[in-house]
Amino acid sequence: MDVSFVDKLTQIINDLYGLLYQPFGLPIILVAIGGWLSIRTGLIQVRRFGTALKFVSKGAFKKDIEGEGTITPFQALSTALASTVGNGNIGGVATAILVGGPGAIFWMWVCASVGMATKYAEAVLGVHFRVRTERGELASGPMYYISKGLPWKRVGKVLAYMFCFFGAATALFGTGNMAQSNTIARTFVEAAKTVLSADVPLWVPGVLITIMVGLVLLGGIRRIASVAETLVPTMLVLYLFAGIVYVLLNYEALPGVLALIFKHAFSPSAAIGGFIGASVSTAIAAGISRGVLSNEAGMGSAPIAHGIAKVNHPAEQGVVGIFEVFVDTIVVCSMTAFIILSSGMWTDPTYQAASGDLTAAALSTSIPYASLIVALCSFLFGFSTLIGWCYYGEKCVEYMFGAKTIIPYRILFTALIMLGSMVSVPLVWALGTLLNGLMAIPNLIGLLFLSGVVAKLTREYFTD
């Protein structure tokens, strides 16, 4: 692909991204609606966090779950986490810091704190408004709760199709596909260069991930959920173990990292080394956009999985959604941020156009051969996200065009994995975050107007 064309296309997408994610654009809308849902549910993410832990721990070991649904609540959580805990946690955090400076991490936390209530509401509505398709399968997601829940049926139908269009586009061209294969390929290449002193072409890991994802997708949601149920806990334990070892080795840097984050959340970041500096508005945009990219609260993707869980009441799956955001952003993303900021490599000119390779290089400053660990985690994170997002996009395509389009969609999805592995980093992440924002708009409208339904169902279940 011609470099000048890629640069021009990236600039156009970045301009659109900047317009959408300006501080008084989508970021404040996401935080405001998340805050409103927090109020309507009585700070559900704080008051019922213990309930969330209980449901998740019980679901992890109990397989004979009662209730109508296709998959267990833990499989639904694992499928949703498979999509959220992806390379946004490795590469997305890195790009947030490179674009917005250390202050971007604070705004990522803000996004997550209210995003837990948003994800709760999405899961509740997903279960409440789920339907059976022409194939007899349960289906859920914003397209159903928007079209069925809003009193203005024509408006609801238009918003539902908007969500599905941008949802399918995100699955095919954005963070649900190409951004994942891109980060996997680059961390693989970084590991080969660092550990083996070998120059591996990007297409090699691209071919491997394409074949493996294609084999899983042949089995549909039940195989996806089964793979996710095993894969997600494994990859989380592996990455968090490496991160905890790094933190213990560098614990004296923690106060300085926290001071850096809080200072630059409200004041500009000066240019240092290769880092060109960032304004507060850029930090807000980068933090919230990458936060949404990572935990997907407000995007409307997760209720497609949560909504088909075997539960007796929508609120039961809602509290599971709270745990999802907590793990993704407060735990995993914070770990990545500490690794990058404490290493000082975020100012290295070599890594100013990096993503997951920056995380790999930063971890390697304290742990020998850590780039191999990051490459493996990136592969597991990306693999799980790819299979989860293929299902999300499939449901969007099915809603718009019917079941006959599912197989052609899966073929196209698999082919684009290969293309994504070789596309430039700025282009693939700019396109991904732009599509995330466009996908979120109709969903946020639905959440706002259906907040009363969420509040009613919450009161109905929690009667204390």
Q: How many CB atoms lie within 10 A of CB 198?
A: 10
Residue 220 pLDDT > 60: no
User: What's the distance, CA 83 to chain centroid?
Assistant: 6
Tokens of 56: 């998740």
Confidence of residue 442 (pLDDT cuts 50, 70, 90): very high
- In this prediction, residue 8 has a pLDDT band, given cuts at 50, 70 and 90, of confident
pLDDT of 236 higher than 90: no
- Give buried/exposed letters for 107-146 (b at 16+ CB in 10 A, else e): bbbbbbbbbbbbbbbbbbbbbbbbeeeeeeebbbbbbbbb
Mean pLDDT along residues 26-40? 90
Give me the percent of the chain exceeding a pLDDT of 90.
22
Return the pLDDT at 423: 67
**Domains in the chain: boundaries:** 3-461
Residues in contact with 393: Cβ distance below 8 Å, sequence separation at least 6, in sequence order:
167, 168, 170, 171, 172, 176, 409, 413
Cβ-proximal residues to 371 (8 Å cutoff; 6+ apart), any chain: 187, 190, 191, 194, 195, 360, 361, 363, 364
Q: Check pLDDT > 90 for residue 138.
A: no
Instruction: Tell which residue, 368, 371, 367, has the closest CA to residue 358.
Output: 371
Q: How confident is the model at residue 70 (pLDDT cuts 50, 70, 90)?
A: low
For 312-344, how does the pLDDT look when each residue is reduced to its tens digit (9 = 90+)? 889 988 988 898 889 888 888 899 899 999 988
Q: Looking at residue 88, what is its pLDDT?
A: 66
Q: Which helix (H) or strand (E) holds 132?
A: strand 131-132
Band (pLDDT 50/70/90 cuts) for residue 227 is low
> Has residue 108 got a pLDDT over 80?
yes
* Tokens, residue 231: 């894969």
Confidence of residue 384 (pLDDT cuts 50, 70, 90): confident
**pLDDT for 445:** 94
Q: How many whole angstroms separate alpha carbon 139 and alpha carbon 141?
A: 7
Instruction: Please name the helix (run of DSSP H) or strand (run of DSSP E) that holds residue 139, with its range, or none.
Output: strand 138-139
What percent of the chain stands above pLDDT 70? 86
DSSP letter (8 states) at residue 268 = P
For the residues 384-388, what does the mean pLDDT come to?
Answer: 79
Q: What CA–CA distance (Å, rounded) separates 130 from 139?
A: 6
Q: Residue 454: pLDDT above 70?
A: yes
Q: Which CATH number fits domain 3-461: 1.20.1740, 3.30.40, 1.10.8, 1.10.260?
A: 1.20.1740
pLDDT value at position 145? Answer: 94
Weakest mean pLDDT among 43-57, 75-89, 386-400: 75-89
CA gap 341, 97 in Å, rounded:
8
Q: Any idea how long the chain is?
A: 464
Q: To which residue do tokens 């899983």 refer?
A: 216
- Cα angle 47, 114, 303 (rounded to 5 degrees) comes to 90
**What number of H helices and E strands is found in the chain?**
22, 2
